[in-house]
Amino acid sequence: MRKIEQSWYKPMSLINVVLLPLSALFWLVSSTRRLLFRVGIKSAYKASVPVMIVGNIGIGGNGKTPFVLWLVPYLQSLGLKVAVISRGYGAKPPHTPYHVTDDSTAQQAGDEPLLIYKRLGCDVVIGGDRKASIEYLIAHNEPDIIVSDDGLQHYQLDRDIEICIVDNERRFGNGFLLPAGPLRETPKRLKSVDLTVFNGSIKEDGYSLNTTGIYSVKTGARVTQFEPKGIAVSAIGNPSRFEKSLSVNGVTITQSKHFADHHMFTEQDFEIYNKSNVFMTEKDAVKCQSFAKDNWYFLRVDAVPSERLVSKLHNLLDKKGIITHGV
């Protein structure tokens, strides 16, 4: 699978050609499905509160989570009570909808939902049935707006605002749909979303990812004294970006180990590293905190949006009637 994913961001190869018939089938099925919702043959659930979807047309490593981590506090600064829903990829909750709490583990909540909760403290609910998650939140927490972390292609859910995140560096890869390429939908889909946001570009409607420090995986506290040399371990969609950030921040990478996106780490995954310093992302750190050693660190990054993006988002919220004019 890793070889297929790597081929998506390289010139056309034999493996892409072989997979093209499956991509054509994927396009036919997904396009037909969306059409059924557009013409009303299939109906979508309309929530009683505004729903904002933050998703993408590709898979993995687009920088969606850092944007959500910025977006929620921004909406809160406008006086809105915000809740987040997520499918909780790879999670095994005791029940669904599952409300993430201080006692939740990454195994129960999933890495991204747990990170969002730990960082922001807002209501986060996971479950494959997004309607059930929303109705749970409305009944128990009365949010003013619900942010759906991913779900752009979940057409069973009506939405008030669609935001699509695009990696400014990798863009759309080879431009093919799955499995010959990384796309769930063609780039034409961007014409119908409310806002296309470019990760890694502050010149467009985008944001940069700024490093805000090195932190201890074990304690969660920021560290200033550590040996800037060690092994980079990651289970994310785009590990090269993470490793570049480590290097830019003065960390010498002696070895890199890549796991599948959302891999649920165990202590056994780190046995071979013995006493070496280990560096990882914040998303991976929430899965390792319970068994982390003193010399395990994570790199924290924050999304910093362009003024143009903030202005467009504010105007969009105003236009949709989600905020009072002039807030």
Where on the phi/psi map is residue 114: left (φ > 0), alpha (ψ -120 to 50), or beta?
alpha
Q: Is 58 annotated as a binding residue?
A: yes
Question: 307 is written with which tokens?
Answer: 């003024």
- Known binding residue 64? Answer is yes
CA distance 61 to 240: 10
Would you call 287 helix, strand, or coil by DSSP?
helix
CB 144 within 8 A of CB 58: no
What SS3 state is found at 60? coil
> DSSP code of 290?
G
Alpha carbon distance 96, 136 (integer Å) = 10
Please check if 60 is assigned to a binding site.
Answer: yes
Instruction: Quote the CA–CA distance of 230 and 251 in Å, as a whole number.
Output: 8
CA nearest 51: which of 317, 327, 319?
317
Structure tokens at 170: 């990798």
- The residue assigned the tokens 């991913």 is 150
Alpha carbons 111 and 91: distance in angstroms, whole number: 8
Strands (E), the chain: 51-55, 82-86, 98-99, 123-126, 145-149, 161-167, 195-199, 206-216, 222-223, 229-234, 252-258, 278-281, 296-305
Residue 196 CA: distances (Å) to CA of 1, 57, 167, 288: 29, 11, 11, 33
Give the integer Cα–Cα distance in Å for 317 and 235. Answer: 34
Residue count of the chain: 327
Binding residues: 58-65
Which residues does the annotation place in the binding site for ATP?
Answer: 58-65
